Chains A and B, each alone.
Chain A
């Protein structure tokens, strides 16, 4: 058994090494982001405090109790939420790009963003603010809005038991436009929304304003579980890059797997959106960049992109709250400012990948 494990390790040495490095990078980013802020907390103290919490070690406190409160009540929930959102969006990006065979696809391409935005706006119209396990109504509405939109798009695109990719993209565009129009209409008509225009704007730009563990306790299993399940489809995603017909020739049940991959991608996107609103570019640029460096094999690409996306958003969120401190800018602005030029650079460098 042990020998078998070792042999397996040796054969996949490259994969294991790369993923271990990325886990290391993610941990360093988490640590730095947790340390930096209005009150600086020494990283060593953070490690000790965290170990005391989760590993039953008992380091003597070399820190003040306020530090501990800041770390556990403010910094860590936010930093971990950023990592989860980044991982979910990057993984969803890998799934959508692989399935749609389009390196320009992002997790929002088939209507999730418009659905989530519409759901969130509806929730903001209500004068009540319900709370459930640390969630306001808005994250719930955003989550189900996102999934509802994808469900609608999928069924609109379904013709005679098949869901061609092209009709899905078109239906996604149509549904997105409709929902966006409906949302604009609500904003112009509703006094309640006019008052909360700032919240609407923040949601659309995206930002990690999580400061509650219970919210993370619900979303983390969805995101981590979703990424783990997505890994089961990694090799089949490789086959999908030959197109649906090619995948079918290789014995893949195309319609069943397509539905599963779309469902997983949308679930991940919806979960991310419910934590942070519509953070752009992570789901587009991270999978793309990782694919350029590590190659297109989804068995490595999926976990590597998830880890990189997590690290990327942790750093972006750190910038979002420190660049203009004490005021914060929406993290979506950072990701767009960094992501868009990088994306243009990628496009100019690797034009050959887009030859059709």
Chain B
């Protein structure tokens, strides 16, 4: 679907990504993880062609992104960012229709096909009732669903998410990720998402790519990537990784420092005692 080969990128003088090699196959659902500034968002922006790599190349379905026009890329790749600020009173449906931008000619209005794509996208996300409401007056969760519908109206083969749940309540975080997972399962849309929440990533994504200082530190299924050592190494955080009671995926728990010390003492006490036995 998309492959990065030896991609490097820097903003002005400060390098962000170093020689990234990453291939994502059709139908995969991949999360990009890493601390702020590790290059997740840059990777997303490179994948949709908004940024151009300084070195190396990115191939989308075999053709180099350098050879494709912005419009051609947008006909296959859609992006859902954290949030959009909308200064004007567009209705939700009008916003979703913006997803058809790469398909419309300069003067032609939307046709049947575009209307159908918008309808499908809104039904897919479950917001067909809200079409005539003003985008700005919707709740954060509804807005984010609208943005997801806008991306779906592009009928993308590859869906890129840039921390799509960063500003949402826990129920909307779940809802958005359930929707994305469903799209990935049912329509085989390839998904690459930059994620902040490691536990959500472990629950909804099949493959995790852990970035550190612009390099890929680990890449694999959640159980391999989300280990205590990896998290300590990449985030500098001391955490405990337990198993999710039903999913059997790794689940990260944090313990406040004050209790940590006590806990580890009593833990070693327990271990000591079992040894004695």
Contacts and interface: CB of A to CB of B under 8 A. Distances in A.
Nearest to A350: B89
B73 interface: yes
Interface in A270-300: 291, 295-297, 299
A355 B136 contact: yes
Contacts of B137: 352
Interface in B73-132: 73-75, 78-79, 81, 84-91, 94, 98-99, 101-102, 104, 106-107, 109
B101 A236 contact: yes
B122 to A, nearest CB: 17
Given A249-B78, A252-B70, A296-B90, A243 B84 contact: yes
B87 A102 contact: yes
A190 B98 CA distance: 54
Interface in A316-340: none
Main DSSP-derived SS at the A contact region: loop
B48 interface: yes
Given A245-B81, A252-B101, A353 B74 contact: no
Nearest to B103: A251
A246 B102 CA distance: 12
Query: For the complex, would chain B's binding face be called helix, strand, loop or mixed by DSSP majority?
Result: loop
Contacts of A248: 50, 70
Nearest to B94: A297
Contact of A239 (B48, B50, B101): B101
Contacts of B101: 235-236, 238-239, 250-252
B87 A353 contact: yes
Contacts of B70: 248, 251-253
Contacts of B107: 231-232
Interface string A139-178: 0000000000000000000001000000000000000000
Interface string B51-82: 00000000000000000011111110011010
Given A297-B94, A299-B109, A250 B88 contact: no
A353 B79 contact: no
A251 B102 contact: yes
A232 B87 contact: no
How many of chain B's residues touch chain A, expressed as a range? 20 to 34
A173 B232 CA distance: 49
Nearest to A12: B109
Contact of A249 (B50, B91, B136): B50
B276 interface: no
Q: Which of A239, A243, A250 has the most CB of B within 10 A?
A: A250
A347 interface: no
Given A251-B74, A296-B88, A246 B81 contact: yes
A353 B89 CA distance: 7
B179 to A, nearest CB: 19
15 contacts: A235-B104, A235-B106, A239-B98, A242-B86, A249-B74, A250-B99, A253-B69, A253-B70, A253-B71, A296-B88, A296-B94, A297-B94, A352-B136, A355-B136, A356-B85
Given A250-B74, A251-B74, 20 more contacts: A101-B87, A102-B87, A232-B107, A235-B101, A236-B106, A239-B101, A241-B86, A246-B84, A249-B50, A250-B102, A251-B70, A251-B75, A253-B71, A291-B88, A291-B89, A295-B90, A295-B91, A296-B89, A297-B94, A356-B85
Interface of B: 12, 48, 50, 69-75, 78-79, 81, 84-91, 94, 98-99, 101-102, 104, 106-107, 109, 136-137, 154
